[in-house]
Amino acid sequence: MLVRAGNTWLRTASAVLLAGVLTGCSQAAQESDAKASVRPSATAGTAGTAGAAGADDSAVSSGGTIGATGSACELPATFDIAEKWKAQAVEAPLRQGPVTLACEIDAKPAGNIGFLRVWTGKPGGADARTVLEDFVAAEDGVSGEKYRTFRSGALSGVAVEYQYASELLDETKKESAFAVMTADGPVVVHLGGLDTEEHEEMLPAYELARRTLRTV
């Protein structure tokens, strides 16, 4: 029940956001201008992240680090967030698979529509691949999953790219996530986006988080 409730809340929030974008002409114009201002660097970053194993996060500047005590979101791991993205802790018990939503990092201040969402769980016997597979399996409408391993400092993790069939937009869009295990439990970082174009524009911020990930 918690998984479905969490997913329903997130999709409902997306629907409200989409309605505002589609009906607000003035707002749409502002967003178009904002996207135009960030698209050159984002496109350069996407070219480097097409094969994420060799991605280059130099196309996006760091806006600070979250995860440590006293930061916007206190987590079992720390990582850099992209400049202008805004992090906020989440206290509502929204659950997907084995993890609970702990932090949302909003891309709108940087000119995109989407979030990096950080999910955390309790320590247990599962490895990062199992946690990530269970996380993806808890989201209806997923297909084409492609998993790979990666390293960030001393951490080993698993990343996935997949397609999500959006009932809201009546189309399929790309989503990405990665998971690592820490002494305090698993950490899953997920990147969605309004559509595939928005997702790809935000990939440099996602890669920045993955490459700078460290335990607290």
User: Of 3.90.550.10, 3.40.1000.10, 3.40.640.10, 3.40.50.620, which CATH number belongs to 2-215?
Assistant: 3.40.1000.10
Domain boundaries defined on the chain: 2-215
Give pLDDT, residue 42. Answer: 34
Nearest CA among 189, 184, 179 for reference residue 216: 184
pLDDT at residue 182, as a whole number: 95
- Note the pTM of the prediction, 2 decimals: 0.75
Confidence of residue 168 (pLDDT cuts 50, 70, 90): confident
How distant, in Å, are the alpha carbons of 14, 17, 201 from that of 198?
A: 13, 14, 5
pLDDT tens, 103-141?
999 999 999 999 999 999 999 889 999 999 999 999 989
Task: Tell me the three-class secondary structure of the chain, residue by residue.
Answer: CHHHHHHHHHHHHHHHHHHHHHHCHHHHHHHHHHHHHHHHHHHHHHHHHCCHHHCCHHHCCEEEEEECCCCCCECCEEEEEECCCEEEECCCCCEECCEEEEEEEECHHHCCCCEEEEEECCCCCCCHHHHHHHHHHCCCCEEEEEEEEEEECCEEEEEEEEEEEECCCCEEEEEEEEEEEECCEEEEEEECCCCHHHHHHHHHHHHHHHHCCEEC
- The confidence score (pLDDT) of residue 212 equals 96
pLDDT of residue 92: 84
> pLDDT by residue (tens digit) across 9-57?
444 444 444 444 333 433 333 433 433 333 333 333 333 333 333 344 4
Q: How confident is the model at residue 93 (pLDDT cuts 50, 70, 90)?
A: confident
